[in-house]
Structure 1
Amino acid sequence: MKTLLILLLCCTLAACASSDVDQYAAEQPALSLSDYLNGDLQAWGMFQDRSGKVVKRFHVQMTGQWQGDTGTLDERFTYSDGSTERRVWTLTRQSDGSWQGTADDVEGVATGKVAGNAFHWAYRLRLPVDGRTWVVDLDDRMYLIDDKVMLNRAIMSKWGVTLGSITLNFYKP
């Protein structure tokens, strides 16, 4: 019984610690995904393991195209070790204002919400690691700084255990 109470308390505290995107509703500039993720963009980022060590650095060239409430975001990654990767997202605004997204290496459907200058999005990614494929959870948060810059921080976990974080700086020329 004592163990169950401790587990329940930990889950409750973890839920309180997670940031709800609605708290950014009044923040400016307001983020419009179809405006910001339209045309050519670039991003620079890194993956840090749970100890904070930078494991991978990368550059991303992106092109977004929209037709109504549906957009395609073509991401082309170049990693510091010379390897490359491509992910093509299809993003769709739902009638309630929320967002859904799909990509070939995303398991199921990504779901997200915009409020003010912030976008919170969660999904499961199939990630190749040492010849195997891991399915990891991503808790992804983006913040529009101005009309050219958006910052992104994503926490990667598996079975509720944090594996590391991704920090990304988007730039729209």
Structure 2
Amino acid sequence: MISACFGDIKGEQYDTEQPKLELSAYFDGPIKAWGIIQDRSGNITTRFDVEIIGQWQGDQGILDETFRFYDGKVQTRRWEITKIDGLNYVGTAGDIIGEAKGKAHGNAVYWTYTMDVPVDDTHYRLKFDDWMWLMNDDVLINRSYMKKFGITVAELTIFMQKQSNEPSNPSNP
């Protein structure tokens, strides 16, 4: 209940922050990521690594994500994202209910969507309030607040780092 009382993050506070997050630039090419899920008490319940490959053509983007959980499970997701105008986006994926909606604010992007989340032998329909902030050194921090009936029941944190599109060349240090 307490987390519901703190109010929503206001995107306008990031409008002038740098470096500017342009989804089509950041999510074009390979990205490595590491994440955790915390229950509402703050306990880490899940750890995972993610490999993301993004491709953009104009205002259309595809993100292929492979989640490798530390318990051995693997999950994939394919996002199809459309840039509507300079600030607004919509996206779909197989496990997303309807469309995800996003808005850019300087160094941040806000996403909201609903997903059926598998937990053990059942699924929970949760609303995600998803914030991404671009940092220096091609690092992006993603915070997701998972809500049921408006109450935050879990939080997800992912640290991403954009990788070079160039193949490594061991003979050229």
TM-score by length of 1: 0.88
Match of 1:104 among 68, 91, 94: 94
Q: Following the alignment from structure 2 to structure 1, what is the Cα–Cα distance between the partners of residues 141 and 85?
A: 26
1:115 deviates by: 1.1
Residue 163 (str. 1) matches residue 163 (str. 2):
no
- Counterpart of 1:6 in structure 2 is none
1:147 deviates by: 4.5
Alignment gaps of 5+ in structure 1? 1-9
SS in 1 for 2:142: strand
Aligned residues: 161
Q: Following the alignment from structure 1 to structure 2, what is the Cα–Cα distance between the partners of residues 139 and 162?
A: 10
Alignment gaps of 5+ in structure 2? 164-173
SS in 1 for 2:126: strand
Q: Following the alignment from structure 1 to structure 2, what is the Cα–Cα distance between the partners of residues 81 and 124?
A: 25
Q: Following the alignment from structure 1 to structure 2, what is the Cα–Cα distance between the partners of residues 119 and 63?
A: 19
Q: Following the alignment from structure 1 to structure 2, what is the Cα–Cα distance between the partners of residues 124 and 140?
A: 11
- Counterpart of 2:168 in structure 1 is none
Q: Following the alignment from structure 2 to structure 1, what is the Cα–Cα distance between the partners of residues 152 and 12?
A: 24
Match of 2:26 among 36, 42, 46: 36
Q: Following the alignment from structure 1 to structure 2, what is the Cα–Cα distance between the partners of residues 101 and 147?
A: 26
- Counterpart of 2:167 in structure 1 is none
1:1-173 pair list within 5 angstroms = 14=5, 17-95=7-85, 97-173=87-163
Q: Following the alignment from structure 1 to structure 2, what is the Cα–Cα distance between the partners of residues 45 and 27?
A: 24
| Contact 1:36-1:147 within 8 A present in 2 as well | no
* Amino acid of the structure 2 residue aligned with 1:109: E
* Amino acid of the structure 2 residue aligned with 1:155: Y
* Amino acid of the structure 1 residue aligned with 2:94: D
1:160 deviates by: 1.4
- By percentage of residues, which structure has more helix? 1
Q: Following the alignment from structure 2 to structure 1, what is the Cα–Cα distance between the partners of residues 126 and 28?
A: 28
After TM superposition, the runs of 4+ consecutive aligned structure 1 residues lying more than 6 A away are: none
1:22 deviates by: 1.8
| Contact 1:38-1:63 within 8 A present in 2 as well | yes
1:148 deviates by: 1.2
* Amino acid of the structure 2 residue aligned with 1:75: E
Q: Following the alignment from structure 2 to structure 1, what is the Cα–Cα distance between the partners of residues 17 and 152?
A: 29
1:86 deviates by: 0.2
